[in-house]
Amino acid sequence: MESKPSKIVCVGRNYAKHAKELGNDVPSEPLIFLKPPSALLPSGQPIVLPHGAGRVDFEGEIGLVIGARASAVPAASGWDHVGAIVAANDVTARDLQRSDSQWTRAKGFDTFCPVGTPVTVDKVDRARLAVVTRVNGEVRQEAPASDMVFDIPALIAYISAIMTLEEGDLVLTGTPEGIGPLSPGDVVEVAVAGVGGVTNPVTAADR
40-42 vs 113-115, strand pairing mode: parallel
Please compute the mean of the pLDDT values over residues 52-77 and round it to a whole number: 98
**Per-residue pLDDT at 177 exceeds 80:** yes
Can you tell me the distance from the alpha carbon of 186 to that of 178, in angstroms, rounded to the nearest whole number?
16
Which domains does the chain show, CATH number per domain?
Answer: 8-204 (3.90.850.10)
Mean pLDDT score across all residues of the chain? 96
Q: What is the pLDDT of residue 203?
A: 98
* Helices marked H in the chain: 16-21, 94-99, 104-108, 152-160
- The type of residue at 137 is G
> pTM for the complete prediction?
0.96
Please compute the mean of the pLDDT values over residues 133-155 and round it to a whole number: 97
Can you tell me the distance from the alpha carbon of 200 to that of 114, in angstroms, rounded to the nearest whole number?
8
Lowest mean pLDDT among 15-19, 78-82, 137-141: 15-19
Can you tell me the distance from the alpha carbon of 69 to that of 166, in angstroms, rounded to the nearest whole number?
5
